[in-house]
Structure 1
C-alpha cells in the first residue's frame, strides 16, 4: 500500500547516491532486519510461484523507502539480491514474459521523481550501482491526465539501456484529488476513450520492445480513484450482473475493454499484470481483490504490493505475515498464473 501524502518539489532531485543521515535504529523492528527477513522468507520454499520482485525506491514523500536510507538497510538489500536466484534479464516467449524455474526476476521502480514518470538512464544506473545488481525491468507511471499518450521517450530510454519497460497506466487527472473529478471507469466501458486507447495500442505495438503493463495499480485500495468505492461500491443494482458488486465489476470490465482494444490493434507485445494490495481499503467483503480480476484469459501475471510501515507509528507488519497473506490471496485469484511482488518496501523505524 503506497499512499501518497504530498509531493515535495525540493525532493524531486535524484537522491539515490546520498545516504540518509538519520541515526535512529530499532534492532528489533528495524528496516535492515525487515529486509533480511523478507528475502529469507522468499527463499524458504514456501512461495514457489513467486517469480519476480520489485522494490519501490522513493524518498519524495519523506518516507525513506530508498534502499540506501541507511547503511544497514543498503547492506541488507545488497545481500538479499546477491543470491543467484535473482536474475536481471527478462525472458519472453511469443512476446510474453515467462517465469523461469527456480529464479526470481529482480525489478524496481528505481526512482523517477514525484510524478513517477521522470524516466532517466541515470536513475536506473544509480539504483543498480547501489544494489550491486542489474534490474530486469524498470517500473514507471504513464499518467493519463488530460489524454492518454503512449510514453515513447520513457520506453526508449529503458529499452535502449537494456531493461524491460514496465508501464503503469494511471487513470488520474491529477495527484491530489480522490475520487477523480473527471476520469470515470464507466467512460472507458462506454468507449469514450477508444480513440486514445487505439493510438496508445498502435504506438505500443510499433515501439520495438516487449512491454509489461498494468492498469489500476493497487485496485483494492481507496487511495486511488479506480477503487470500487468510487465506482458503485458494493451495490449490485446499478451496473451489470445483479449478483456482482458494481464497483469491482466496473473496474473488471474497464480493464477488459483496454486489453480488448490492444488485442484488436495487434499489440501482442504486452504482458498484462493484475495488481492489488495485500491490505485493501475499505475492509469490506465486496472490496476483495478477487472481484476485480479480469480473468485468466486476459491477465498474464498476478502482482501484489506488500509494504511494511511507511511512516513511523504505522503498525509493524512482518514479512512473514505479508507474504503469507499475499500468497493466499494470489492463489484465490488464480492458480494458473505466475506471481510477482510488484511493490515492496519499508521506512526507517
Structure 2
C-alpha cells in the first residue's frame, strides 16, 4: 500500500501486532511436514517448458524439478500455496479460520501473523490449520540498533522461539523497506540501503547460529518504491541469493492496477533464480463486479507465472487508518470468485 495506508502509530504495537500476540496458545502439530533441510544455496536452474509469460517477463526456470528452492518451505513446481492474514472484526483467529474453512471448502496453507520488533515471536499459533505454514512478518528497528550489536540477545531469543515451532516457517523481516512509511525503510535511515542489507544478513546469521534451520527467509519489497528515486530502487535492498529463500512482494489494487502492473517487475527480475510469493494482496471495490473480476484476473495471472509459489490475501476489516474492507467476502460475488481460486488446481500447493 501507499505510505498513508501503511504507516503504523509511532512508538506502539499496531492492531496487527496485538492480533499476533492474541494468536498464541495451543500447541502446533510438530512433525507434520516431516524432516526439513537447511535452506539451499545453489546456482540458477536451466530454463525449460514454461507457459508463455507476458512480453515484459523473462521466462523462469521453474516448470521442471526445482530441487531445494524455497529452503525449508519448499517450492513445488506448478503449485501455489494460498493463504492469508486473517483478522475479522468480532472473531478470534480460530473462529475466523473456521469461518473461512466453511466458506472455501478447505483450509488455507499459509497463516500470516504480524509482530512488533520488541514482541516475543510465536512458538505456537492457536487455531492454525494442521498443515498450514506460518509466515511471521516481523517489524524492524532503525538499522543502527541491529548493526551496533545491542539487539543480538533479542534476535537470538526470537530465533529460539521460531525454532521451537517445530515445523517449517516463513520469516518476513523488514518488509516494504523501499517505502517511506516504516522506520526500517531506507527513507527513515538516511537512504542507507546497504544498511538494510547488512541487517538482513546479520539476522540470518544469528538465527543460523541458534539452530533455527526450520526458517525460510522471505525478502519482500513493496511493488513500487516511495520515493521513486535511484537510490531507493528495489534491487539496492536485496541481501543476496545466499540469504534469501523466497522473494515476496506486496501489491494492492488501489487504483485499478492490473496484477501484471503490480507484480511483473519483481517477477521478471528475481524469478530466474528464486521462487516468488505474493505476500500481501487485496483489491478495492469499485462497484458492481469489479472486485470479483480482479480476483479472477489474479487467478489467471498466477496460472501464467510458474515461479509464483504462494499468494497471501490481506483478509481483514480491522486495518487501522484505512476504511477499505479487504476481507474476501465483503461482497457475495467476490467471495464466489475467491472460492473459485481456492478450488483451482494451481492453488493446491
Query: Does the C-alpha gap of structure 1 residues 322 and 156 become closer, same or farther in structure 2, counting only changes over 3 Å?
Result: closer
Distance, in Å, in 1 between the alignment partners of 2:147 and 2:284 is 38
Q: Give matches, 1:301-340, under 5 Å.
A: 301-309=246-254, 315-331=255-271, 335-340=272-277
In 1, Cα distance between equivalents of 2:201 and 2:127: 27
Which of 100, 113, 122 aligns to 1:151? It is 122
Post-superposition offset of 1:133 = 3.7
Give the counterpart of 1:136 among 99, 104, 109: 109
Please show how residues 269-280 of structure 1 align to structure 2 within 5 Å. Answer: 269-280=214-225
Partner deviation per Cα, 1:291-331 (whole Å, 9 max, x = no partner)? 1111111110101112111xxxxx32122322333322435
Structure 1 residues 49, 212: closer, same or farther in 2, change over 3 A?
Answer: farther
CA distance in 2, matches of 1:113, 1:300: 33
Q: Using the alignment, how far apart are the partners of 1:273 and 1:306 within structure 2?
A: 15
Matched, 1:192 2:192: no
Distance 1:5 1:297, change over 3 A: closer
Q: 1:218 Cα deviation (Å)?
A: 1.2
Task: Give 1:190 shift.
Answer: 1.1
1:121 to 89, 94, 106: 94
User: Cα RMSD (Å) of the superposition?
Assistant: 3.3
The answer to whether the 8 Å contact 2:7/2:182 transfers is: no
| Contact 2:70/2:246 (<8 A) preserved | no
Pick from 197, 203, 224 the counterpart of residue 252 of structure 1: 197
What is the aligned residue count?
240
SS in 1 for 2:285: coil
- Equivalent pair of 2:135/2:170 in contact (CA under 8 Å): yes
Supply the distance in 1 between the matched residues of 2:121 and 2:240 (Cα, whole angstroms). 25
Structure 1 stretches of 5 or more lacking a match? 14-42, 52-90, 172-182, 234-246, 310-314
Task: Call closer, same or farther: CA 1:220–1:151 in 2, change over 3 Å.
Answer: same
TM-score calculated relative to the size of structure 2: 0.61
CA distance in 2, matches of 1:325, 1:199: 36
What whole-Å deviation, never above 9, does each CA across 1:215-261 have from its counterpart, x for those lacking one? 1111111121111011121xxxxxxxxxxxxx211111111111110
Gaps of 5+ in 2: 20-49, 287-349
Secondary structure of 2:193 counterpart: helix
Displacement, 1:272? 0.4
Moved more, 291-300 or 122-131: 122-131
Deviations 1:131-190 (A, max 9, x none): 34421111110112xx341223xx33255643111100112xxxxxxxxxxx42111011
Q: Matched residue of 1:110: which SS?
A: strand
Alpha-carbon distance between aligned partners in 1 of 2:51 and 2:105, rounded to the nearest angstrom = 23
Asked if the contact 1:138/1:158 (under 8 Å) is kept, the reply is no
Equivalent-residue separation in structure 2 for 1:150 and 1:289 (angstroms): 27
> Whose relative contact order is higher, 1 or 2, with alpha carbons under 8 Å and at least 6 apart?
2
Change (3 A) 1:50 1:308: farther
1:148/1:194 CA distance change after superposition, 3 Å: farther
8 Å contact from structure 2 (residues 182, 188) kept in 1 = no
Q: Tell me, yes or no, if the aligned pair for 1:110 and 1:124 is still in contact at 8 Å.
A: yes
What SS does the corresponding residue of 1:280 show, helix, strand or coil? Answer: coil
In 1, are the aligned partners of 2:7 and 2:181 still within 8 Å (CA)?
A: no
Whether the 8 Å contact between 2:253 and 2:284 is mirrored in structure 1 is yes
Shift in alpha-carbon separation, 1:95–1:298, aligned structure 2, 3 A = closer
Q: Which residue of 2 aligns with 1:217?
A: 175
Alpha-carbon offset, residue 94 of structure 1: 10
What is the match of residue 204 of structure 1? 162
TM-score computed with the length of structure 1 as normaliser? 0.61
Distance 1:320 1:208, change over 3 A: closer
Kept in 2, the 8 Å contact 1:214–1:274? The answer is yes
